Structures are given as C-alpha cells and as structure tokens.
C-alpha cells in the first residue's frame, strides 16, 4: 500500500524516543522530512545500552534533537520543549511491563500518572494541532467480549500498569474537553520486531534459544496475543497524526469520538490472535532450533487473550496492520543475530534514510 506523504514539514515531539516504539516512529518521521525532538529518561528497566544505540541512530539525522530527562521533572520538561514549539506531540514514554508493576508499583505512578500529567500540561500551553497518547490493550482487563472494540467498556484493569494507562486516557479526555486539545489515544496490541524490548516474550525466547537456555512459558502455553509488527504500528500512527478528531464529527457508528471533546481511542492491532505455542513454533523454524520449554502457572495480572477490532483504524486511515507473524519473526531473528554478532554494524545498517 502506498504511503501518504505529508504536505508540510512538522515539528514533532516524541517522548520515549529511545524506546522500542519511539525509536521506530521517530526514525520514520525523520525519513518523511519532519523535525523531531526526542525526550527519554533512559531508565534502567532494561538494557540502557540498547536505548543509547537507538538514540545514536536517530542522532545521525540533522533534524533530530534529543534531551535526556525524566518527565516527572516538570521544569526540565518545560525548558526542553518550549523553544521547540511542537506542532504535534506523541506521548509514548511510560513505565511498561505487566509483571514489573507487581514489583515496583511506584514507578508506574511516577511515570504514567505524574509524567503524563506534565506532558498534558505541555499540550495545554503549546496547543499542538494534535496530541497523541499511547495506551495499551491491557486496559480491556477482565473484558471477555472479543474482539475488543474501542466503544467497549474498559473498567476492570487487572494490573496497576493497566490502571495507570487507563487513568492516563481519562486524564487526557478531561484536558481535551477543558482546553479543546484534539487528542487521539491509541491502544497498542503486543508490538514486536527488530530493536524490540528484551523483556518481551519474543526477545526473551529467541535470546535464550540462541544461548541454549530453557524458556519459561506461562499457563502451559494457553495464551493468545494479537501480535502487531512494529512497521505496521508505525504506519498506523503516522497516518493517525494527520487525522485529528473533531468534536461533533464522528465518522460512523463505530467511532469512539467523545460527545464532549475532540478525543477518541483507536486500537492498533492486526486482528488475528495467535496461540503462544504456535508463535513459539514459528520462532523455532525461524531460528532453526527447538526450544527447551519449562511450563509455569498463569502469572498474576495476565490476560488469557487479546484480540483487536481494527475497523476504526481502517475507517480513519485506510490502513490495517497486515504483516504475518512468519514474516515479522524472521525479520526480528535476522536483526537479533546481527545485533548479537556486531552491535555497531547493526547500528550503521539502521541509519535514517528518506523513504
């Protein structure tokens, strides 16, 4: 599918720019000709070296500027953003991870509530043409009606992580209503691909298998996830940037547009859940080796299944995530092998080029 081109150069603030999704999005925006200010706290939740290498790739582009700070520091955030005067704000930075929220809950309150509030204050004072906020499929929590639609209630989160992300959604709605900030909240469904997060299943499984270590599979593999390839997600977000909500102008009966604000939620998922053991089988074929599996009980807070309805995304942008796991996992394995062999060469290969 041909990518739509922006008619003008935009100044875009991306929080979490050294993270997996933020890196890929910033890289795409730079390739499309925009100026990007990246902000990241470079927290040690996972390997900081991987984050630094992502930022180094982005810094090779003359239109990328990065600032290292914690979003909880409102004064530092204001000082970094005010001179840039962003046209668009994409807030991706967050304390991620379902299981880690059981170990360090305060990190989620600090980052996902206080940090998000500070970014929303930036949106209030800077008045961007569009404020976009990352949420998660985890907000659907105990909801068992599938596929998950944006108009479904999401009132029963199963972890503090999910609760803080849902709270961020509600906070952004209030700000959108009070200050007329066009706001899109996107709910991501298990994003994976090259330069991914080491704490996520694909990276953990592949890394262990390459080292000959066993892997832990929860609930005896009776889990399903709606996996979304990173390139598909970036394409969706890039298109949504140019589709701000307008109060009183829903696009159809399935639109999640608020009746009180220029605000909507949008699922970004492929809409094809994959059983975890089938996913592992694809990974085994891609790596050419079998996994040594150790089965474990269901983890507290885990959802048995995620399944996105992607109709609203398609209606808004003309695009649906479509990359099959077989293609995505091969791409990830090629990157991981290259990165383990020579990280510097992998970085040189990933320089930002015009699309």
Closest CA to 212 of 296, 295, 289, 282: 289
Closest CA to 57 of 32, 38, 72, 75: 38
Q: How far apart are CA 37 and CA 63, in angstroms?
A: 8
Q: What integer is the mean pLDDT of 259-263?
A: 98
Q: Nearest 5 degrees, angle CA 176-CA 162-CA 222?
A: 140
Three-class SS of residue 301?
A: coil
CB 26 within 8 A of CB 64: yes
Quick: pLDDT tens for 16-69. 999 999 999 999 999 999 999 999 999 999 999 999 999 999 999 999 999 999
Q: How far apart are CA 152 and CA 148, in angstroms?
A: 7
Kindly state the helix (H) or strand (E) to which residue 294 belongs, with its residue range.
strand 293-296
Q: What integer is the mean pLDDT of 6-11?
A: 81
Q: How far apart are CA 261 and CA 242, in angstroms?
A: 18
What's the sign of the alpha-carbon dihedral 138, 229, 274, 153?
Answer: positive
Three-class SS of residue 131?
A: strand
- In this prediction, residue 97 has a pLDDT band, given cuts at 50, 70 and 90, of confident
Catalytic residue check, 161: yes
pLDDT over 90, % of the chain: 91
Measure Cα distances from 60 to 46, 56, 64, 78, 350 in Å. 23, 7, 8, 25, 10
CB 58 within 8 A of CB 64: yes
Q: Which of 161, 175, 192, 229 is catalytic?
A: 161
Quick: pLDDT tens for 177-236. 999 999 999 999 999 999 999 999 999 999 999 999 999 999 989 999 999 999 999 999
Which two tokens mark 101? 């929220």
Kindly state the helix (H) or strand (E) to which residue 74 belongs, with its residue range.
helix 74-81
Quick: pLDDT tens for 213-228. 999 999 989 999 999 9
- In this prediction, residue 99 has a pLDDT band, given cuts at 50, 70 and 90, of confident
Burial class (CB in 10 A: 0-12, 13-18, 19+), 11: middle
CB 218 within 8 A of CB 280: no
Domain 11-349, CATH: 3.40.50.720
Q: How far apart are CA 323 and CA 268, in angstroms?
A: 13
pLDDT over 70, % of the chain: 97
Residue 87: predicted pLDDT: 98
Count the alpha carbons within 13 Å of 48 in the hemisphere toward its beta carbon: 6
C-beta atoms surrounding 324 within 10 Å: 13
Q: What integer is the mean pLDDT of 327-335?
A: 98
Closest CA to 97 of 198, 172, 167, 241: 198
Quick: pLDDT tens for 117-157. 999 999 999 999 999 999 999 999 999 899 999 999 999 99
The ranges assigned to domains in the chain are 11-349
Beta strand spans in 96-206 (E): 130-136, 183-188, 191-192
Residue 321: predicted pLDDT: 97
Residue 1 pLDDT > 50, yes or no?
no
């Amino acid at each position: 599918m041909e990518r739509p081109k922006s008619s003008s150069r935009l100044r875009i603030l991306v929080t979490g720019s050294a993270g997996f999704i933020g890196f890929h999005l910033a890289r795409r925006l730079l390739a499309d000709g925009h100026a990007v200010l990246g902000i990241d706290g470079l927290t040690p939740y996972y390997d900081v070296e991987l984050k630094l290498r992502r930022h180094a790739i982005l810094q090779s582009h003359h239109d990328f500027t990065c600032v290292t700070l914690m979003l909880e520091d409102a004064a530092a955030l204001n000082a970094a953003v005010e001179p840039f005067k962003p046209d668009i704000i994409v807030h991706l930075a967050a304390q991620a991870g379902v299981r880690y929220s059981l170990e360090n809950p305060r990190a989620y309150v600090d980052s996902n509530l206080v940090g998000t509030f500070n970014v929303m204050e930036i949106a209030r004072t800077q008045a961007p043409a569009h404020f976009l906020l990352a949420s998660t499929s985890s907000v659907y929590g105990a909801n068992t009606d599938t596929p998950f639609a944006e108009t479904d209630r999401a009132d029963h989160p199963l972890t503090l992580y999910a609760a803080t992300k849902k709270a961020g959604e509600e906070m952004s709605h209030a700000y959108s209503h009070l200050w007329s900030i066009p706001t899109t909240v996107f709910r991501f469904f298990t994003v994976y691909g090259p330069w991914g997060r080491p704490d996520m299943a694909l990276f953990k499984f592949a890394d262990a298998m390459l080292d000959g270590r066993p892997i832990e599979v929860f609930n005896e593999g009776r889990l399903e996830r709606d996996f979304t390839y990173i390139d598909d997600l970036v394409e969706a977000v890039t298109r949504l940037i140019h589709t701000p909500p307008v109060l009183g102008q829903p696009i159809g009966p399935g639109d999640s547009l608020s009746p009180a604000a220029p605000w909507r939620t949008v699922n970004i998922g492929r809409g094809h859940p994959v059983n975890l053991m089938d996913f592992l089988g694809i990974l085994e074929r891609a790596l050419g080796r079998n996994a040594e599996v150790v089965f474990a009980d269901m983890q507290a807070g885990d959802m048995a299944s995620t399944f996105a309805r992607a109709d609203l995304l398609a209606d808004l942008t003309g695009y649906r995530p479509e990359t099959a796991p077989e293609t995505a996992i091969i791409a990830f394995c090629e990157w991981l092998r290259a990165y383990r062999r020579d990280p510097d060469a992998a970085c040189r290969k990933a320089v930002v080029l015009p699309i």
